[in-house]
Chain A
Amino acid sequence: MSKERTWRELPKGAVSYRSSRDYKTGDWGVDAPRIDHGKCVKCNLCHMLCPEGCIAVKEDGSPEPNLEYCKGCGICAKECPVKAIEMVRK
């Protein structure tokens, strides 16, 4: 149970007083993607298909998963056309 605030300090109307970015959902998952950048062709299909939107594209065009939010669903690994993503235990 949260020790953060009592009901007296919470905003009315159940308005969120913290950003959803503060809610790290990465620890929900068991597995996480590991990208073999030697195989990756920078198509960024993983970036587009990630349901959490947590695979960013770096300046050089290569994908970079943010494991603080990755729930380990494995869609990126499944959809990668060159099989450059492997799901591994966190």
Chain B
Amino acid sequence: MDKQILMGLNGNEAVAYATKQVNPDVVAAYPITPQTIIVERFSEYVADGLVDTEFVAVESEHSAMSCSVGASAAGARAFTATAANGLALMWEILYIASSLRLPIVMAVANRALSGPINIHNDHSDAMGARDSGWIQVYCENAQEVYDSCVTAWRMAEHMKVQLPVMVCLDGFTLSHTMENVMTLPDEVVKKFVGEREFVKVESHLGEAELRLNPDAPITMGPLDLQDFYYEHKMHQVEALKDALKVIKDVDKDWAKVSGRMYEYVEPYLVDDAEVAVIGMGSAMGTVRHVVDELRVEGVKAGMIKLRLFRPFPVAELKKAVGDVPVLGVMEKCISFGAPASPLMEEIMTAYYSDQEKPMMANYVVGLGGRDVSPAMIREIYGSLLKVKKAGKVSKLMSYIGLRGE
């Protein structure tokens, strides 16, 4: 394990610092709260000559992602960052990045989507992009943000993956909160990410690398109609399946150099738990605190943190949940008109055909940056204990911390 340097960084600075160490070829970004510090810091690194990056100050997020697509297609390492409406403006290009198999890395400082306009945290932005074919990692703290912004490149560029990665960090809660972050020396990060390698494809002129190169030209992104589009979508299905297998290896390699091992799904005091809460992001730190308090009070509470949402780790999830009889799915998102919120739907689908499964209830929290307090989490555990006692779920969805509920 290498010597590490303790730094005081907020989540955004952790993204910028990790990206500085990776030294990507192109960064194209547009400022949007709460992501702005990322590109602000990074532009300072560029101005100070600490990176070799071509910094493109684009006129919108649509252009930021388009520029990243062009750069990545040309063989560059391309990075960008955004949030909320910026991510929404990137929408059509997100799908193009993943379908062209471009290993772009993007930090998303999760923020509520307008309208009404709000700049604070929830997961409505990234959850809306869950079907865009990107890998999605959700971080609990600034340390995870730093680590993920390094490992993301290896996930994205893995020969079997070749897909873009979104590193999600909760707006303000993580993006603007300073924490202790253990960082590795530049050369260790540089060695860890290595050089971008290219898969070989069959082009119209024979075998070529999957990148735009005048010496070995290929056509990327041609019109793809009834005859082939469907087959190409299957490629993305398979790539995400493969990603589920190989991201583990990247995490293990990172554990070797950093001493920090991340699992797709991380259980906490679940073995003997009667009730457990599962969720993603910074609020899970608060949940862990509440679990500790409840344990002292004699309540058999546990929690499960999900770090990887796309690809969705079904087997790892079930292993982490184990035999917990009652599971509360806590999330910062509403899928309007749907029977439940996105994470709940994923987990219920994962369990649907199993004979043995936990009783599940869905708890929406923290929309538009509303504080997710220990008291609210206690309310969720209280509700789960009632479900346990009654032996059935009487209310599938609850809105916690909402006035009038």
Which residues of A are in contact with B by a Cβ distance under 8 Å?
Answer: 1-2, 5-7, 10-20
Question: Nearest-CB distance from B220 to chain A (Å)?
Answer: 6
User: Does B210 contact A12, Cβ atoms closer than 8 Å?
Assistant: yes
User: Does B203 contact A17, Cβ atoms closer than 8 Å?
Assistant: yes
User: Does B162 contact A11, Cβ atoms closer than 8 Å?
Assistant: no
What is the bound-complex CA distance between A16 and B99, given in angstroms? Answer: 14
Contact partner, A12, options B201, B205, B228, Cβ 8 Å: B201
B221 at the interface (CB under 8 A from A): yes
Question: Nearest-CB distance from A9 to chain B (Å)?
Answer: 9
Contacts of A17 in B (CB 8 A): 201-204
Chain A residue nearest to B218 (CB atoms) is: A15
Contacts of B227 in A (CB 8 A): 1-2
Given A10-B235, A15-B219, CB of A2 within 8 Å of CB of B203: no
Chain B residue nearest to A18 (CB atoms) is: B204
User: Does B228 contact A15, Cβ atoms closer than 8 Å?
Assistant: no
User: Does A13 contact B220, Cβ atoms closer than 8 Å?
Assistant: yes
User: Does B204 contact A19, Cβ atoms closer than 8 Å?
Assistant: yes
B234 at the interface (CB under 8 A from A): yes
User: Does B203 contact A12, Cβ atoms closer than 8 Å?
Assistant: no
Chain A residue nearest to B210 (CB atoms) is: A13
Given A1-B227, A2-B227, CB of A13 within 8 Å of CB of B234: no
Instruction: Count contacts on B: residues with CB < 8 A to the other chain.
Output: 28
Contacts of B220 in A (CB 8 A): 13-15
User: Does A14 contact B202, Cβ atoms closer than 8 Å?
Assistant: no
Question: Nearest-CB distance from B96 to chain A (Å)?
Answer: 10
What is the bound-complex CA distance between A1 and B201, given in angstroms? Answer: 23
What is the bound-complex CA distance between A5 and B232, given in angstroms? Answer: 11
**26 CB-based A-B contacts, threshold 8 Å:** A5-B231, A7-B231, A7-B234, A10-B228, A10-B235, A11-B201, A11-B202, A11-B210, A12-B201, A13-B210, A14-B99, A14-B100, A14-B220, A14-B221, A14-B224, A14-B232, A15-B203, A15-B210, A15-B218, A15-B219, A16-B218, A16-B222, A17-B203, A18-B204, A20-B204, A20-B219
What is the bound-complex CA distance between A11 and B227, given in angstroms? Answer: 14
User: Does B228 contact A2, Cβ atoms closer than 8 Å?
Assistant: yes
User: Does B228 contact A14, Cβ atoms closer than 8 Å?
Assistant: yes
B402 at the interface (CB under 8 A from A): no
Most interface-central of A6, A17, A18 (chain B CB within 10 A): A17
What is the bound-complex CA distance between A10 and B231, given in angstroms? Answer: 8
User: Does B204 contact A7, Cβ atoms closer than 8 Å?
Assistant: no
What is the bound-complex CA distance between A15 and B101, given in angstroms? Answer: 10
CB interface residues, B 121-179, toward A, < 8 Å: 162
Most interface-central of B199, B220, B226, B231 (chain A CB within 10 A): B231
Against A, the Cβ 8 Å flags (1 = close, 0 = not) of B372-400 are 00000000000000000000000000000
What is the bound-complex CA distance between A16 and B201, given in angstroms? Answer: 9
Chain A residue nearest to B219 (CB atoms) is: A16
User: Does B204 contact A12, Cβ atoms closer than 8 Å?
Assistant: no
Question: Nearest-CB distance from B211 to chain A (Å)?
Answer: 9
Contacts of A18 in B (CB 8 A): 204
Task: Kindly list the 8 A-B residue pairs having the minimum CB-CB distance in the complex, ordered from nearest.
Answer: A7-B231, A11-B201, A7-B234, A13-B101, A19-B204, A16-B219, A2-B227, A14-B232
What is the bound-complex CA distance between A26 and B219, given in angstroms? Answer: 22
Most interface-central of B203, B204, B208 (chain A CB within 10 A): B204
Question: Nearest-CB distance from B13 to chain A (Å)?
Answer: 34
What is the bound-complex CA distance between A48 and B134, given in angstroms? Answer: 44
Chain B residue nearest to A6 (CB atoms) is: B231
Question: Nearest-CB distance from B242 to chain A (Å)?
Answer: 11
What is the bound-complex CA distance between A12 and B204, given in angstroms? Answer: 13
User: Does A16 contact B235, Cβ atoms closer than 8 Å?
Assistant: no
User: Does B162 contact A15, Cβ atoms closer than 8 Å?
Assistant: no
Contacts of A7 in B (CB 8 A): 230-232, 234-235, 238
User: Does A13 contact B231, Cβ atoms closer than 8 Å?
Assistant: no
Contacts of B205 in A (CB 8 A): 19
Chain A residue nearest to B238 (CB atoms) is: A7
Contacts of A16 in B (CB 8 A): 203-204, 218-219, 222
Contacts of B201 in A (CB 8 A): 11-13, 15, 17
Question: Nearest-CB distance from B103 to chain A (Å)?
Answer: 11
